[in-house]
Amino acid sequence: MNAGSRAVLRSLVPVICPPDAVPYGEAIVEHVGLSLAATPVLVQRGFVAGLAAYDLGALPRYLRRARALTGERAERYYASWEHGVTPLHVQFARGVKQLMNLACYEQPEMMAAVGYRVGPWIEEVRAKRLRVFADDIAKQERQIIAPDPLRPRAKQEVA
Amino acid sequence: MVAVALHEGAHPRNVFTRRDLRGDTVLDCDVVVVGSGAGGAPVAAELAEAGFDVVVLEEGPYYTTRDFTANTSAMIRQMYRGGGATMALGSPPLLFQEGRAVGGSTVINGGMSWRTPDEILARWRREAGLDTSPESLDPYFTRVEKRIHVAPMDESAIGNDNWLLKKGADAKGWKIVGNLRNQVHCVGSNRCAFGCPTGAKQSALVSYLPRALHFGARVYADVKVERVAFHGKRATGVIGRSAGGHHVVVRAKLVVAACGAIHTPALLARSGVRSRSGQLGKNLSLHPNVKVVAIFDEAVTSWKGAHQAFQVREFAEQGLGCFAAVNMPPSILAMSFPQRGAQLGELMAQYDKMVLAGLLCEDSTSGSVRTIHGVPQAFYQLAPKDLAQMQRGLVLLSELLFAAGAKRVLLPFHRARELHDADDARRVLAEPIPAKEWEVVTVHMMGTARMGRDRSRSVVDEHGFVHDADRLMVADASLFPTPIRVNPMETIMALATRAAGHVIDNARRFLS
């Protein structure tokens, strides 16, 4: 993502993410960039083009780019896309929101705020499994590599 | 022991990654298998054990259990094709997910392991002329179930969300069954969709592939196969490219395409295969899924406990395959909500009280996969009949959740209002919801190289051999003549195992 795209996304953090996520704005934008980089090239290009259109689209109405809008004006402008005049506006607004919400609740502080502490949980149950079920685990691992031919009498007979 | 090595993260000596492919590579083998998931891995293991020299090529990277962390979005970026942003075009666009890693989609699926329903097998016999009696397939299902350890859940691993689902089903008097999953003492980390971090889920990565490796197969990760090579009609190998940009050529006596129902037809089309039936890439079934979020008064903590411990099967024969509780991390859930800003924050503050429940629809229509400049694109338009069916399913699922004690239910529509009781559900969902308003997803893609006896109506025979080519076989969900109403992994594995047996039985014909 280029600097312009990042600036637009940064301006959207207070609009799309909950208020307590605003301090993590830079990390959220960074995360959106990582997610976007994993998508098909066409999606990436479309998204970046969409951000540019969103940025410039504010000029006629607000005489400034979207990235410079704050507060109520930023809110109103995003809402105009969210309920937009064309399906493209609507799809783009949804796509941005989805990526930013994903990024928002991937922040450790936001996960902790909703009570999702999965790291320690994984460690706890992983250790429990290895401790309590060691015999069955070993049995399955032996089964995985034990000879058990699909055709017992078949031997490779081709030259 | 190879299995232990994979489980613990050591690098087995016959797994090769981009780091090992430092230049153009030419390999010779008996069988080259393209794809390492539910279809490719069993074929590789069975043929390797039978003494054949097998090479498995996988487009995605190689990870071990140790690599599966709590970082949800990193897991999606690393193991989901297109970072999870793959969709079938239609109204609404339908998001689908596929694994792109060694082990394929078995690494990121929920592990549900069900045999093909008898009625579906009967339909395949009737409509496609296949020998798919339950008796003839039983040995293959049994073998697969042993290999991947299909078993009911340990009760101690079942989370509150699933108990609530059962409570609701019991209150309604509906049929609910304990899920069968490929797991050895799943302990309910609820991370199936992001790579099982405990090693409990017996994905191909920790079951069939270690077996294949043990019997001498070689696995090459990070290699995308561009096309199948032919001499006349006979497949003679494949040509691909490593993630580092080097050419990889594999010369083989038999080629097995096991890239899934989106990429197998594309590989065949790129390779110049033309099915006289005109069915290559057609007949795409998707088992459309929709979900609702129920909010309870008390903490549910759905993220602790096994993924899908139960399935409600009351309406399976009416086209609603199952209802299930399917917890997702907060980031994934937040993505699906229409709310934003402070409203989103207020809603997500209830995360610990939420139950995410979904339903699977046995689709009555089909889409297609077209290969455009070598790249597959899926097209799928939900049928009005299926939309109506899903809408009915949402009423029933909401009724179940309210019967379990839910206080609110959020629907999978843009601009939908929330429901407060079962009457509300019936009232709100009485009117048709426009197709474009739905949020529909799937992880079951099937049918794009369907099997059948009649060459004029199918792409491959009942063992997966392409009608219009020689020594080219398909072994994945592309084969299915129809949707199967249940999770497809075990069916794919059983059919792949049967196909491997056919190859062994006819080795002189296919591998000389």
All domains of chain B, ordered by start, with CATH?
Answer: 2-81+98-149+196-280+448-507 (3.50.50.60), 152-183+289-362+383-439 (3.30.410)
Closest approach of chain A CAs to the CA of B273, in angstroms? 26
Using CA atoms, how far residue B379 sits from A40, A135, A140, B42, in Å, is: 17, 48, 41, 29
Q: Name residue, tokens 């079938």.
A: B88
Residue A109 to residue A20: CA distance in whole angstroms: 9
Question: Is the domain of A105 the same as that of A121?
Answer: no
What does the block give as tokens for B223? 């290699």
A87 cis-preceded (ω within 30 degrees of 0): no
Question: Is the domain of A72 the same as that of A123?
Answer: no
Using CA atoms, how far residue A9 sits from A52, B338, B348, B382, in Å, is: 11, 18, 21, 33
What does the block give as tokens for B495? 């059919």
pLDDT, position B413:
81
Question: Is the domain of A102 the same as that of A121?
Answer: no
Helix, strand or coil for residue B55? Answer: strand
Give yes or no: B444 in active site.
yes
Helix, strand or coil for residue B38? Answer: coil
The proportion of chain A whose per-residue pLDDT surpasses 90, expressed as a percent, equals 87
Sequential DSSP letters for B89-105: BSSS-EEE--B-STTGG
pLDDT, position A120:
96
Residue A70 is assigned to a structural domain of this protein: yes
pLDDT, position B103:
98
Cα dihedral sign for B393, B397, B402, B408? negative
Range of the domain at A133: 117-147
Closest approach of chain A CAs to the CA of B240, in angstroms? 19
Distance of CA B471 to the CA centre of its chain: 26
pLDDT band at B4 (very low <50, low <70, confident <90, very high): very low
The dihedrals phi and psi of B407, each to the nearest 5 degrees, come to: -100, -25
Average pLDDT on B2-17 reads: 65
Closest approach of chain B CAs to the CA of A102, in angstroms? 4
The proportion of chain B whose per-residue pLDDT surpasses 70, expressed as a percent, equals 98
pLDDT band at B91 (very low <50, low <70, confident <90, very high): confident
Residue contacts between A and B (CB atoms, under 8 Å) = 193
The proportion of chain A whose per-residue pLDDT surpasses 70, expressed as a percent, equals 96
Q: Of the ranges B123-132, B298-307, B412-421, which one carries the lowest mean pLDDT score?
A: B412-421
pLDDT band at B3 (very low <50, low <70, confident <90, very high): very low
Write out chain A residues lying below 8 Å of B76, CB-based.
Answer: 35, 38
pLDDT band at B1 (very low <50, low <70, confident <90, very high): very low
pLDDT, position A156:
55
The dihedrals phi and psi of B279, each to the nearest 5 degrees, come to: -95, -5
Residue A153 is assigned to a structural domain of this protein: no
pLDDT, position A159:
46
If one compares B346 and B428, the residue with the highest pLDDT of the two is B346
> In chain B, positions 446-485, which contact chain A (CB-CB < 8 Å)?
none
Question: Is the domain of A139 the same as that of A61?
Answer: no
CB contact under 8 A, B83 and A150: no
If one compares B428 and B72, the residue with the highest pLDDT of the two is B72
> In chain B, positions 278-317, which contact chain A (CB-CB < 8 Å)?
299, 301, 303-304
Question: Is the domain of A7 the same as that of A52?
Answer: yes
Q: Which residues touch A148 (CB under 8 Å, ≥6 apart)?
A: B49
Strand ranges inside B269-353, DSSP E: 289-295, 310-312, 320-325
What does the block give as tokens for B171? 């209150």
Q: Of the ranges A89-98, B371-380, B383-392, B414-423, which one carries the lowest mean pLDDT score?
A: B414-423
Write out chain A residues lying below 8 Å of B505, CB-based.
Answer: 151, 154
Nearest residue, CB atoms, B508 vs list A106, A142, A158: A158
Determine contact: B32 vs chain A, CB below 8 A.
Answer: no
Burial class (CB in 10 A: 0-12, 13-18, 19+), B278: exposed
| A50, pLDDT greater than 90 | yes
> In chain A, positions 5-44, which contact chain B (CB-CB < 8 Å)?
14-21, 31, 34-40, 43
As a whole number of Å, the end-to-end CA separation of chain A is 56
CB contact under 8 A, A140 and B342: no
pLDDT tens, B245-270? 999 999 999 999 999 999 999 999 99
Residue A87 is assigned to a structural domain of this protein: yes
CB contact under 8 A, B341 and A15: yes
pLDDT tens, B267-326? 999 999 999 999 999 999 999 999 999 999 999 999 999 989 999 999 998 999 899 999
Residue B429 to residue B413: CA distance in whole angstroms: 11
Question: Is the domain of A30 the same as that of A104?
Answer: yes
> In chain A, positions 46-105, which contact chain B (CB-CB < 8 Å)?
75, 87, 94, 97-99, 101-105
Residue A152 is assigned to a structural domain of this protein: no
Taking CA atoms, what residue in B is nearest to A13?
Answer: B341
Q: Name residue, tokens 């062994």.
A: B504
Cα dihedral sign for A9, A11, A17, A22? positive
Residue A6 to residue A45: CA distance in whole angstroms: 14
pLDDT, position B433:
87
Write out chain B residues lying below 8 Å of A23, CB-based.
Answer: none
The proportion of chain B whose per-residue pLDDT surpasses 90, expressed as a percent, equals 90
pLDDT tens, B336-347? 898 999 999 999
Mutate to test the interface with A, among B340, B354, B463, B504 (most CBs of A within 10 A): B340
pLDDT band at B448 (very low <50, low <70, confident <90, very high): very high
Nearest residue, CB atoms, A101 vs list B80, B149, B334: B334
On average, the pLDDT of chain A sits at 93
| B62, pLDDT greater than 90 | yes
Closest approach of chain B CAs to the CA of A112, in angstroms? 10
> In chain B, positions 172-201, which contact chain A (CB-CB < 8 Å)?
184-185, 187-191, 197-200
- Of B263, B287, B307, B444, which is the active-site residue? B444
Nearest residue, CB atoms, B50 vs list A111, A119, A156: A156
Q: Which residues touch B299 (CB under 8 Å, ≥6 apart)?
A: A115, B352, B353
The dihedrals phi and psi of B347, each to the nearest 5 degrees, come to: -70, -45
Average pLDDT on B74-90 reads: 94
Average pLDDT on A49-75 reads: 96
> What is the identity of the amino acid at B307?
H
Average pLDDT on B163-185 reads: 97
On average, the pLDDT of chain B sits at 94
Residue B347 to residue B63: CA distance in whole angstroms: 35
| B462, pLDDT greater than 90 | yes
Overall number of domains in chain A: 2
Question: Is the domain of A105 the same as that of A125?
Answer: no
pLDDT, position B11:
66
Average pLDDT on B140-162 reads: 97
pLDDT band at A154 (very low <50, low <70, confident <90, very high): low
CB contact under 8 A, B330 and A114: yes
Closest approach of chain A CAs to the CA of B105, in angstroms? 17
Left, alpha or beta for B114 (phi > 0: left; psi -120 to 50: alpha)?
beta
Question: Is the domain of A127 the same as that of A51?
Answer: no
Question: Is the domain of A26 the same as that of A93?
Answer: yes
Determine contact: A1 vs chain B, CB below 8 A.
Answer: no
Residue A156 is assigned to a structural domain of this protein: no
Write out chain B residues lying below 8 Å of A151, CB-based.
Answer: 50, 501, 504-505
Residue B230 to residue B235: CA distance in whole angstroms: 4
Task: Name beta bridge partners: B371.
Answer: B376
Average pLDDT on A69-93 reads: 93
Residue A9 is assigned to a structural domain of this protein: yes
| B13, pLDDT greater than 60 | yes
Question: Is the domain of A97 the same as that of A121?
Answer: no
Question: Is the domain of A9 the same as that of A27?
Answer: yes
| B415, pLDDT greater than 80 | no
Write out chain B residues lying below 8 Å of A128, CB-based.
Answer: 187
Question: Is the domain of A84 the same as that of A138?
Answer: no
| A140, pLDDT greater than 90 | yes
Nearest to residue B316, comparing CAs of B164, B124, B178, B120?
B120
- Contact between B358 and B311 under an 8 Å Cβ cutoff? The reply is no
Residue A138 is assigned to a structural domain of this protein: yes
Residue A159 is assigned to a structural domain of this protein: no
Strand ranges inside B285-417, DSSP E: 289-295, 310-312, 320-325, 354-361, 368-372, 375-379, 408-410
Average pLDDT on B54-81 reads: 96
pLDDT, position A157:
56
User: In what helix (H) or strand (E) does residue B46 lie, and over which residues does it extend?
Assistant: helix B40-49
Nearest residue, CB atoms, A105 vs list B84, B197, B331: B331
Average pLDDT on B386-401 reads: 95
What does the block give as tokens for B278? 């005109």
pLDDT, position B2:
43
| B397, pLDDT greater than 50 | yes
Mutate to test the interface with A, among B194, B348, B351, B437 (most CBs of A within 10 A): B348
